[in-house]
Amino acid sequence: MTSPRFGNAPVSYGVFGATTQGAAPRDLLRSVADAGYDGCELGPPGFFGSAVQTAEAYQEVDLSAVGSYVPLHLAGTDAAMAHDLAGMAATCSELLECGGGLAILADEGSPELLINPARDWLDRSLSLNAESWDRLAARVRDAQSRVEQAGLTASFHPHISTYVESPWEVEILLERTDIHLTLDIGHMALAGADPVKCVRDWGHRINHVHIKDVSVEILLAARAQQRTDFDVWWADVCVPLGEGDVDIPGVLEALAALDYQGWLVVEQDRGPTLKHEYPEVAREQAANGVWLRQHWQRASESQRS
C-alpha cells in the first residue's frame, strides 16, 4: 500500500480566502516545511507574487504545491462569477508554474447562509430551487472544463454555510456533474454528516482530503447567537487533531480500505496570524502531522492484518 503525502494549508496560519492580514508568505512556507510537511496549498491569487515567484518560493523550501482553494459565487450574478473565474485563471497559472496541483472549487454561499451554518437537512427554506441547481451545476461544469483545458485537475469542496453543505446537496452535485470531491471531514461533521460514511459512500469520487478536527458545540453556540464574525468563531471551532468530535481514525481506516493515495492536508484554521506567531503554529502543526502519520500507519497496518 502506497502512503499518501501529507500537506498543510495557509488557513492554518490565518489566511482565509483573500484575508491575508499580517501574513508573511515566504515565512509561512518555511514554517510549514519546518513542521515536517511534504507540501502546502496555495493562498489567494498573487499571495506569493507572480506565478514564477510562487514556484520559486515553493522550490526554496522543497515543498510541493498541493493545490489551491478557488472560491466561486455559484449562485451569484454573472459579474461575480466572471470575477471569480479570472481569479481561478490566475491560480491555474500559479499551479502550472509549480508543476501542477488541484484546483479546489468551492461555493461562496451567501450572507444569509453565513449566519445559518449547519442547516437542518429537512429545512430546505434557504436551499436552491431546481432552476438554481441547474445554474450551479452548469457553472461547476464550466469551471471544471476551464481547469482541465489549462492542463490541471479540478476537485469540489463541500463547505459549511454554502449551497453545497449537507450530504443531500453533495449528492445532487455528484449526480449533475462528474467532478471529484475534496472531502473536508471537519466541514462534513459540522454539517451533521458522518465523515466515515461519506468516505464509504463517495470514495470513488474523492481525489483530495482535508483533515480537520472540530468542536460541534462551538458551532452550535455561534449559530444560536447568529454571529457574523466568521473568522473569529470559526478559528475556535477548529481544534488540534484528536481533540474534537471527528472520528479521524475511522476516516483513515475507510481511506486505507480504498487504498487512497492522494494528499492528506491538515487544516487547523486560525484567525489572522502574524509572522512572530509562526513558530508557535509550526509546533502545533508538527504535532498534528505526527498524530496523523501515526494514525495513518495504524489504519494501514489494520488493512494488512
Q: Angle at Cα 160 formed by Cα 154 and Cα 166, nearest 5°?
A: 85
C-beta separation of 40 from 63 below 8 A: yes
- Of the chain, the end-to-end C-alpha distance in Å amounts to 12
28-67 pLDDT tens trace: 999 999 999 999 999 999 999 999 999 999 999 999 999 9
pLDDT band at residue 1 under the 50/70/90 scheme: low
Given this model, what pLDDT does residue 230 score?
72
Instruction: Provide the residue ranges of all domains of the chain, joining segments of one domain with +.
Output: 5-304
3-state secondary structure of 210: strand
**For residues 254 and 117, what is the distance between their CA atoms, to the nearest angstrom?**
27
Alpha-carbon gap, residue 21 to 18, rounded angstroms? 9
Residue 118 C-alpha cell reads as 449547519
CA angle 295, 95, 20 (to 5 degrees): 80
Mean pLDDT score across all residues of the chain:
95
In the chain, the amino acid numbered 29 is: L
Nearest to 61 by CA among 87, 88, 37: 37
Q: What does the pLDDT look like over 227-280, one tens digit per residue?
A: 877 767 788 899 999 999 999 999 999 999 999 999 999 999 998 899 999 999
What is the rounded CA–CA span in Å between residue 103 and residue 154? 5
Planar angle of CA 79, 80, 85, nearest 5 degrees: 95
- The CATH-assigned architecture of domain 5-304 is Alpha-Beta Barrel (3.20)
Neighbours of 216 (CB within 10 A): 16
212 pLDDT exceeds 80? Answer: yes
Residue 31's Cβ-side half-sphere holds a number of Cα atoms within 13 Å equal to 24
pTM here is 0.96
Sign for the CA dihedral angle at 71, 76, 82, 83 comes to negative
Residues 182 and 144: their CA atoms lie apart, in Å, by 14
Does residue 241 contact residue 215 with C-beta atoms inside 8 Å?
no
Report the percentage of the chain scoring pLDDT > 90: 87
